[in-house]
Amino acid sequence: MMNRRSFIKNSAAVAPLIVAFNPLAAAQTQLLQNLGSINGKRNKILVLIQLTGGNDGLNTVIPLDKYSILSEARKNILIPDSKVLKLNDSSTYGFHPSMQALQRLYHDKLVSVIPGVGYPNTDLSHFHGINIKYTAHIEEKEIRSGWVGRYLDELYPGYPKGYPAQSNDGPPAMRIGTVSPKIAQGINDQDMSIGITNITDFDNFYSGIDKDPVSDDLGGMNVATIRAISRQIEIYGPIIKSYVTRQSTLSKLYPVPEKNNLADQLKIVARLIGSGLNTPFYVVRQLGYDTHGEQVDPSNTTTGRHADLLADLSEAIAAFQDDLFLMGKQDEVMGMTFSEFGRRIASSDSYGTDHGTAETVIMFGTNVRNGILGPGPELPSKVTVNDNLLIEHDFRTLYASVLTGWFGASEDIIKRVISETPGERLNLFRS
């Protein structure tokens, strides 16, 4: 008998998500990558959105085919069937009612959703969870570098020495709004990113004279570290400023400033991209997803904390994407969310959810393969308080697939950057 999963995998409407590792294709991407670097142009940008606290994927992109199980397991936070936002090409999934902006984007074929992303034996600690996502390592807990940082080590060998290059003067990565630099930490403990909270951050920065040698005690080492950061500010501050002033915000979809923090961050990112700053990675974040209690308003499950977060997320992404179109940069950019983990299938009595396993990843952009990619994890027919989502896709495979599919990274590079990844790759992009 054909089960549901194999049916979906074989269905013509849904191209297979998993592609076996193909050496010929790998050789081709290597070729493309070489061409790219010959032209000295890296016009592929990835914007990472960290959903801090562990997002409840099951209430974000709701598997309607499992609705009866969910209505048992998470009765008190369940979104009424009639309120779930329907998707025109999927009868099995729908969006949370506060994600209308993202629904529009989805119908414009700009969004893909991957449910069931995680890793075996998920660490349910926030601290370890996010560290694992930053480093893309689960075995080696004390690893110091992040996956973005290691990939940037490949693209910017020797950084910061010899940079900014004339043809390529943007910082390798930028963090907006106090994201941890760990994700962009290179193998030699070099932070490959510049962080800002505001575009005026670096005005008139002064850090003293750095001619004196440093002492070889801890104080001296700290002075060396601070000098290195200062130097980066002094080099990249004026560059960032000069770019950003060339580009104003074009989209009218952004909420008023200070209402939606994520939108404020993405607005800066859009201006930097629009101005032509040559930076392949941006990392932003939205706080507040640790919804153990009062995730929903008990009197109306479509409202409450989680609904507000998702509204902000979806409005921020929609405004950002609109901005990119108006700037003519839409084909150079893709976005992807990540979270330390997902949440439990069953809700708690307190109208919330405890820490869980698989997260639901949202990607957006003109190049992503639009749709719900994959059937999503099966649920036990009778959910107990301890049941967790099964992992459908390893997040390391996902990250490796983004690096190969989007940036054209060779398998050789993947071996160094995401060494623990299995051989399969996900088919994430339009061909």
Partner 1 sequence: MNKESVGIKSFSGQWTSKHLRHLLRRTLFGVSLKDISFFEGKSLDECVDILLSPSQSPEPLLNHYHDPEVPLGKPVVFSSYGKGDAEKLRIAYLKAWWVGVIINQERSITEKMVLFWHNHFAVEFNNVKDSRYAYRYLDTMRKHAMGNFRELTREVTIDPCMLVYLNGNLNNKGAPNENYGRELQELFTVGKGPDSHYSEVDVKMAAKVLSGWKDDKVKIESYFDPGSHDPEVKTFSGFYQNHEIKGRTGEDGAKEKDDLINMIFAQREVSRFFCRKLYRWFVNSNIDEAVENNVITPLAELLVKSDYDVKPVLKAILTSDFFYEPFLLGGMIKAPTDFFVGLFREFGVVFSDDKEKLSKQYWRISVLLGQLGQDLGDPPAVAGWPAYYEYPIFYKDWINSEMLSIRDILTRLLSFPTESDKTLMFDFSAFARGLKHPESPKALLAESIDLCCGIVPGPTQMAYIEKVLSNDLGNGPEWTELWPAHIADANNAEVADKVKHRLAKVFGIIFALPEFQLM
372 - beta bridge partners? 113
CB contact set of 6 (below 8 Å; sequence gap of 6+) = none
Q: How many CA atoms lie within 13 A of 363 on its CB side?
A: 26
1/209 with CB nearer partner 1: 209
How many CB atoms within 10 Å of residue 28? Answer: 12
Q: How far is the CB of 10 from partner 1 (least distance, A)?
A: 37
233/361 with CB nearer partner 1: 233
173/263 with CB nearer partner 1: 173
* DSSP character string of 58-116: GGTEEEGGGHHHHHHHTGGGPPPGGGSEEETTEEEEEE-TT-HHHHHHHHTT-EEEEEE
139/217 with CB nearer partner 1: 217
Q: How far is the CB of 353 from partner 1 (least distance, A)?
A: 10
Q: How far is the CB of 55 from partner 1 (least distance, A)?
A: 15
85/184 with CB nearer partner 1: 184
- Residue 234 structure tokens: 């002094």
Give whole-number Cα distances, 382 to 28, 132, 237, 354, 386, in Å.
47, 30, 56, 18, 11
CB contact set of 116 (below 8 Å; sequence gap of 6+) = 358, 360, 374, 376, 377, 389, 390, 391, 392, 393
Q: How far is the CB of 225 from partner 1 (least distance, A)?
A: 6
* DSSP character string of 358-371: -EEEEEESSSB--E
Q: How far is the CB of 138 from partner 1 (least distance, A)?
A: 15
Q: How far is the CB of 347 from partner 1 (least distance, A)?
A: 9
27/221 with CB nearer partner 1: 221
Q: How far is the CB of 164 from partner 1 (least distance, A)?
A: 15
Do residues 237 and 207 touch, judged by C-beta distance below 8 A? no
Three-state SS for 49? strand
Q: Give the Cα separation of 257 and 263 in Å (integer).
A: 8
- The CA-based dihedral angle spanning residues 70, 72, 77, 81, taken in that order and rounded to the nearest 10 degrees: 60
Do residues 351 and 293 touch, judged by C-beta distance below 8 A? yes
44/292 with CB nearer partner 1: 292
Q: How far is the CB of 267 from partner 1 (least distance, A)?
A: 16
Length of the chain: 431
Binding footprint of partner 1 on the chain (CB under 8 A): 52-53, 124-128, 142, 144, 175, 178, 180-182, 185, 189, 191, 194-197, 201-209, 211-215, 217-223, 225-227, 229-230, 232-233, 236-237, 287, 290, 292-294, 348-350, 352, 354-355, 385-386
Q: How far is the CB of 169 from partner 1 (least distance, A)?
A: 16
64/287 with CB nearer partner 1: 287
Do residues 184 and 192 touch, judged by C-beta distance below 8 A? yes
133/182 with CB nearer partner 1: 182
